[in-house]
A and B are shown apart, each in its own frame.
Chain A
Amino acid sequence: GAGVSQSPSNKVTEKGKDVELRCDPISGHTALYWYRQRLGQGLEFLIYFQGNSAPDKSGLPSDRFSAERTGESVSTLTIQRTQQEDSAVYLCASSSRPGPDTQYFGPGTRLTVL
């Protein structure tokens, strides 16, 4: 596709369940970013991939959060044992190269934890 896509667009889950969020970046983009947007807040950086490697995982809010990227393409963000405070919109962005450059954002996945 022409842009960054994310699935699902909406996810409602029960507290304690695991969820997987998917991001398909723009083809050929080597840098991939995950952000979290809580209601009324700015975007909070979670993790960055250069190729399939995540050199810095310090933005992940807890050890319940993990992410991987394969084939220098698709990335999945997994949240285990979801909590209500995990409710947010999770945004993925990609860029043609690491470092300061234009990031192209997907439409996001709205996660609601009941």
Chain B
Amino acid sequence: AQSVTQPDIHITVSEGASLELRCNYSYGATPYLFWYVQSPGQGLQLLLKYFSGDTLVQGIKGFEAEFKRSQSSFNLRKPSVHWSDAAEYFCAVGAENYGGSQGNLIFGKGTKLSVKP
């Protein structure tokens, strides 16, 4: 069965430091990959997505992610973290059922990011 693993439940980084959030997926074909961010009391907001093409994807708020097929990974990075980046981050893959035609997502359990001043 498809799955998404986010190995880090909680990460704390200092403001201005670099950030990498890990995501591994299991998928038979070429995956559709997403990173969403959820701030307290807010809905999920899309940071970036990968469907095909360039494996380094740029997103909003200065985030980027790199698709590595050989490692089944789609790690999220940011060179310099801001206090406002404190939130929970979810990696997701488009489900394969019905050939992917439904478009429902399979999510990891999330990584909570705390930012130290």
A interface list, Cβ under 8 A from B:
3-4, 31, 33, 35, 40-45, 48, 50, 55-56, 59, 91, 93, 95, 98-108
* Chain B interface bracket (under 10, 10 to 19, 20 to 34, 35 or more): 20 to 34
Q: How far is the CA of A56 from the CA of B95 in the complex (A)?
A: 13
Decide yes or no whether B100 CB sits under 8 A from chain A: yes
B interface list, Cβ under 8 A from A:
4, 6, 32, 36, 41-46, 49, 51, 90, 92, 94-95, 97-98, 100-110
The answer to whether B104 and A45 have CB atoms under 8 Å apart is yes
Report if A43-B90 is in contact (Cβ < 8 Å); known contacts: A56-B97, A100-B51, A107-B41.
yes
Report if A105-B44 is in contact (Cβ < 8 Å); known contacts: A42-B90, A56-B98, A99-B100.
yes
Q: Which of B45, B103, B110 contacts A42 (CB 8 A)?
A: B110
A29 to B: closest C-beta gap in Å: 12
Q: How far is the CA of A114 from the CA of B92 in the complex (A)?
A: 31
